Amino acid sequence: MSLAPTRILLRIYIGILFLFVFAPIIASFVFSFNSDRFPTIPLGGFTTHWYEKAFFNAELLPAALNSLTVALSTALLSTFIGFTAAYTDYRYQFFGKTGFLILGLLPPTIPLIIMALAMLGWLSNFHASGMVVSIVIAHTVLCAPFAMAIIRLRLHQMDPNLEPAAHNLGASEWVTMLNIIIPFTRPSIIAALCLTAAVSFDEFAVSWFVSGLNKTIPVVILEILTGNIDPQVNAIGSVVLLVSIALVVIAQSLVMGRTRSTGTAS
């Protein structure tokens, strides 16, 4: 055993770090039920007023619908593209593969505000900005790399002889894909769907630039924030946080659960 005081100090330290990371998330939930307009200590009374205010906010319902449409479409599209890219990387060596992988993984390293401007310019060029589809197009670019990474991880756990074995037994490429590879990667596909939906659901910079009048929820939040402190945001924010946390937790459980089960199997 190492020096006990160091361990205790490190334990306290990591507690503080987790407190820092989760303080805003917890605070958002607590403040959303707090009657004070400017929440402080001691806390005011319990209220659901901010939720009611948010619920009757005329801007919010269309925004919620837009957010859901965008998140769903983005999840489907980016998971499909991510899957094709991950499978290509798993199975094939070809000229220009490094370029292919860079193309697949680079988008998250470009700051969102830059992507937002570039996307606005590009889409306006084709009179394609200011629509819900514009947001889906942009979000798919940003989310596909995450889907690709998750599915690639799962393919890494697959026995490389499985596919050739199916071929030897007479299955065609497409039959093998449908009966071997897709079932094997299913948990990671669902995880990718959840995670990309979460990323899309929370993205605000690119949406703000390309959405025009078709705002999503994060864009509405951004616009409320530019005004005064409005506790409505805590109520909307709590719901948004719950949705994305749920999606991320489902995604993680699927990825982690499977990692463990194959870990014990092999």
Partner 1 sequence: MSGQKARRTDWYALSWRVPLIVWQGLFFVGPLLFMIAMSFFIVKNYRMEAAFDWGNWIKTLGRPIFWDSYFLTLRLAFGATILTTLFAFPASFFLSFHASETFRRWAVFFLIIPFFTSYLVRIFAWQVILAQQGVINAGLSLFGLGPYTMLNTMFGTMIGYLTLCLPLAVILQTFALNGVDRRLVEAAHNLGCGKFHTIFAVILPLAKTGFVVAAVFCFILSFGDFVAPYYLGGSKPPTLSIMIIDTSKSGQQWPRAAVVALMMIVTLMGVAFSAIAYAYRRRR
What is d(CA 68, CA 237) in angstroms, rounded to the nearest whole number?
Answer: 15
CB of 193 to partner 1, least distance (A): 13
What is d(CA 215, CA 225) in angstroms, rounded to the nearest whole number?
Answer: 15
What is d(CA 92, CA 151) in angstroms, rounded to the nearest whole number?
Answer: 15
Amino acid at the residue 107:
P
In the list 35, 57, 69, 88, the residue contacting partner 1 (rule: CB under 8 A) is 88
Instruction: With H, G, I as helix, E, B as strand and everything else as coil, classify residue 266.
Output: coil
Q: Which is nearer to partner 1, 39 or 62 (CB)?
A: 39
Q: Which residue stretch of 57-65, 66-74, 182-190, 237-245 sits at the interface with partner 1 (rule: CB under 8 A)?
A: 237-245
* Contact set for partner 1, span 48-87 (CB under 8 A): 80-81, 84-85, 87
CB of 63 to partner 1, least distance (A): 13
Exposure string for 11-37, b = 16+ CB within 10 A, e = fewer: eeeeeeeeeeeeeeeeebeebbbbeee
The Cα angle at residue 180 between residues 186 and 75, in degrees rounded to 5: 30
120 binds partner 1 (CB under 8 A): yes
* Contact set for partner 1, span 146-175 (CB under 8 A): 148, 160, 163-164, 167, 173-174
Amino acid at the residue 128:
A
Copy the structure tokens of residue 50: 């901010």
CB of 80 to partner 1, least distance (A): 7
In the list 104, 155, 185, 188, the residue contacting partner 1 (rule: CB under 8 A) is 104
What is d(CA 45, CA 178) in angstroms, rounded to the nearest whole number?
Answer: 57
Q: Which is nearer to partner 1, 72 or 117 (CB)?
A: 117
Q: Which residue stretch of 33-41, 46-54, 60-68, 185-193 sits at the interface with partner 1 (rule: CB under 8 A)?
A: 33-41
Amino acid at the residue 77:
L
Q: Which is nearer to partner 1, 61 or 225 (CB)?
A: 225
